[in-house]
Structure 1
Amino acid sequence: MLPISNSLMDAALAGRVWRPGVGPSLVTLRGNDVVDITSSVHPTMRDLCEAPNPAQIVRQAEGETIVTLQDLSNASLNAKAQDDLRWLAPCDLQAIKACGVTFAGSMVERVIEEQAAGDPARAEAIRARVGTIIGDSLSGLTPGSKEAEKVKELLQSEGLWSQYLEVGIGPYAEVFTKSQPMSAVGWGADVGLHPVSEWNNPEPEIVLVVGSDGTIKGATLGNDVNLRDIEGRSALLLGKAKDNNASCALGPLIRFFDDGYGIDDLRRAELSMSVTGEDGFELQGHSSMTQISRDPEDLAAQTIGRHHQYPDGFVLFCGTMFAPTKDRDGPGLGFTHHTGDVVEISEAALGSLRNTVRLSTDCAEWTFGTAALMRNLAKRGLL
């Protein structure tokens, strides 16, 4: 499957590719052609996202046709060296932030992870107990409301109160740093698991693209790779669980808001996901933004404001309702990744994001950071 279907060719799309002998370049699509629109006015995706109307710029930009969509995608799946043609994550200088526990289903699974202390063998029994007590009491609950406080009291009385439910139904969202600027991988790349993890899963998510003034400019797709055992042992291990080599995938492109696509479309987004293993295992997943407990605009507002500025803007994972429980390696063990798994996340208005699962230690090392980008752009006369 190509990253973008023909039905999206009229959308205001922009991404980044690595051009051999050139370096990272901003691109858009003109039909099936990938067109380089990098300029001295907008040399980075950060600069494009800071413009008042990125969609208009993308549509009007002149550029150089460099490759077809099909050939770029084929090259990305076969890229091995630093200078090979390939898709990059569509963000560059922006901070990469994420919100957790924003869906009722994932809240329950986080409680289970914590109660199981990261041990998947204990999860099934705990899941049954938690489900009996909580039931559907979290469905439609407004975080921070009086009703949420009553649920909190119920859970505390049952000895099941959790820090995950605090951020899930309390007044404050969980916002954390997923990975560093320039470290995310793009469509077709390997995505990484820390080798100490034995219980993990993909997380299909809508990712907001937010300017330095807090305005949501558009969106893309993301895979917030989740190490359930590491985070489940202690929330203080969140950094170890989240920020590792190639543990963050974004793409294929940013779709900018315009008259035909906006925040209400994100609120209605329906994400589908498939995992296909080399062992023949298959898993289908789904996440509906209609079920999110916190509105995307609220998540952005809790991230940026007078309390915290982002002069280069940021991208923000919105969380997922997907929490796989299908057994893979034995009864009661639930799902965990095997290396070689192919993960594909799709959404009708944003395309599809495909990545192959490896250990972080087997993924390409991250060597091209912000300093390298600045030197590259200066050499090309774009700064």
Structure 2
Amino acid sequence: MHLVRYVDPGTGTARVGRHEGDRVNPLPSAESVAELLRLSATELRELLERDTSADSTPESGARLLPPIDGRTEVWASGVTYERSRGARVEESDAGTVYLHVYDAQRPELFFKAPAWRVVTDGDPVAIRADSPLNVPEPELALVVNNHGEIVGLTACNDMSSRSLEGENPLYLPQAKVYNGSCGLSAGIRPIWQVEDPTDLRIRMTVRRDGDEVWRGETSTAKLHRTPRELVDALFAETDFPDGAVLATGTGIIPELDFTLAPDDLIEIEIDEVARLSNHVVRGRETTSWFTESPDQPKARA
């Protein structure tokens, strides 16, 4: 079962539901995911297990939306895998900073996207027109309620402009935060339905003109920091009234001679959690629909 947002085919409005099998069942008592992330983990589990409706929609007739809304924010973690540490050192003229943060007491955390700027499965992700080196970064993402409890998991594509961050680590916000830079799978998998979040296989494939041009694999068992440690650092001095999504960093990074191109297809899969598939576009003009999508869900089509 996955918690989802979708466009009601009858009214054209966004609804919240449970995606099970080939059906989507609305949650009658919830109007937004933000509302659900104000509940405690116990309250959320009880609601999802009891709140049923006979008014289901076939999966084929439900346009799935990004799984967050309201004031929910997406944040991300950096240099949490040994592979990430090595790649950052390789690409940067200031590589020693990444050696220090890998073993530091405080993790690297950065803002990634507000809910309205998130894309989901089937939407395009973007590469910056002013960056010659761009890669996808597949990551396990923690869905956290406003009490700081991890209540769900999803997959995140933390798109990254490696040339910008490599030029200067202080350019990190520009390398990471722009239209089309944050993809989340359409569904949130409840944490209690995943046997061991610290031992999940993550796979990514990039296809170009139908041919596989890059493939990588890792496991959350290789994470240098625990999910709880990352969440505690995020919530230490910051309130999240509608909860937060925290991507845990990537252990899959292509070599420096690889960069994404427009029309590439990125496929990400995390065992037991989610799949995420996005085509690549370039530049701001290809994502103008972002500003309309919060109030007009059909704009994503």
**TM-score of the pair, normalised by structure 1:** 0.71
Report the RMSD for the aligned CA atoms in angstroms.
Answer: 2.1
Counterparts of residues 119-198 of structure 1 (less than 5 Å): 162-198=96-132
Change (3 A) 1:31 1:369: closer
Change (3 A) 1:369 1:282: closer
Cα distance in 2 for residues equivalent to 1:302 and 1:282: 37
Counterparts of residues 50-89 of structure 1 (less than 5 Å): 50-52=38-40, 53=42, 54-63=44-53, 65=55, 67-69=57-59, 71-72=60-61, 86-89=63-66
- Tell me which of 82, 96, 105 is aligned to 2:83: 105
Cα distance in 1 for residues equivalent to 2:250 and 2:100: 17
Change (3 A) 1:357 1:161: closer
Cα distance in 1 for residues equivalent to 2:54 and 2:15: 11
State the match for 2:13 in structure 1: 23
Displacement after TM superposition at 1:27 (Å) = 1.8
> Contact 1:37 / 1:64 at 8 angstroms: preserved in 2?
no
Structure 2 unaligned spans of 5+: none
> Contact 1:46 / 1:92 at 8 angstroms: preserved in 2?
yes
Q: Deviations over 1:201-228 (max 9, x none)?
A: 1111000011111111111111000110
Amino acid of the structure 2 residue aligned with 1:337: L
Change (3 A) 1:188 1:289: same
> Contact 1:109 / 1:323 at 8 angstroms: preserved in 2?
yes
Amino acid of the structure 1 residue aligned with 2:264: D
> Contact 2:136 / 2:158 at 8 angstroms: preserved in 1?
yes
State the match for 2:211 in structure 1: 280
Change (3 A) 1:345 1:279: closer
Amino acid of the structure 2 residue aligned with 1:191: V
> Contact 2:4 / 2:19 at 8 angstroms: preserved in 1?
no
Q: Which structure has more strand as a fraction of its residues?
A: 2
Cα distance in 1 for residues equivalent to 2:14 and 2:28: 9
- Tell me which of 228, 239, 243 is aligned to 1:309: 239
Displacement after TM superposition at 1:281 (Å) = 4.4
> Contact 1:212 / 1:310 at 8 angstroms: preserved in 2?
yes
Amino acid of the structure 2 residue aligned with 1:247: S
Q: Deviations over 1:85-142 (max 9, x none)?
A: 6321111131110001100111011011113xxxxxxxxxxxxxxxxxxxxxxxxxxx
Cα distance in 2 for residues equivalent to 1:60 and 1:279: 44
Displacement after TM superposition at 1:369 (Å) = 7.0
**TM-score of the pair, normalised by structure 2:** 0.90
> Contact 1:244 / 1:360 at 8 angstroms: preserved in 2?
no
- Tell me which of 179, 188, 200 is aligned to 1:245: 179
State the match for 1:92 in structure 2: 69
The share of aligned pairs that are identical, in percent, is 28
Displacement after TM superposition at 1:173 (Å) = 0.5
Amino acid of the structure 1 residue aligned with 2:52: E
Cα distance in 1 for residues equivalent to 2:262 and 2:34: 33
Cα distance in 1 for residues equivalent to 2:28 and 2:277: 25
Displacement after TM superposition at 1:336 (Å) = 0.5
Cα distance in 2 for residues equivalent to 1:55 and 1:192: 35
Q: Deviations over 1:312-367 (max 9, x none)?
A: 21100000111112xxxxxxx62100111111111221131111111142134312
> Contact 1:37 / 1:62 at 8 angstroms: preserved in 2?
yes
Counterparts of residues 328-339 of structure 1 (less than 5 Å): 334-339=257-262
Cα distance in 1 for residues equivalent to 2:141 and 2:271: 14
Cα distance in 2 for residues equivalent to 1:38 and 1:229: 47
Change (3 A) 1:161 1:347: closer
Counterparts of residues 351-366 of structure 1 (less than 5 Å): 351-361=274-284, 362-366=286-290
Change (3 A) 1:320 1:24: same
State the match for 1:323 in structure 2: 253
- Tell me which of 23, 38, 46 is aligned to 1:33: 23
Counterparts of residues 189-268 of structure 1 (less than 5 Å): 189-258=123-192, 260-261=193-194, 265-268=196-199
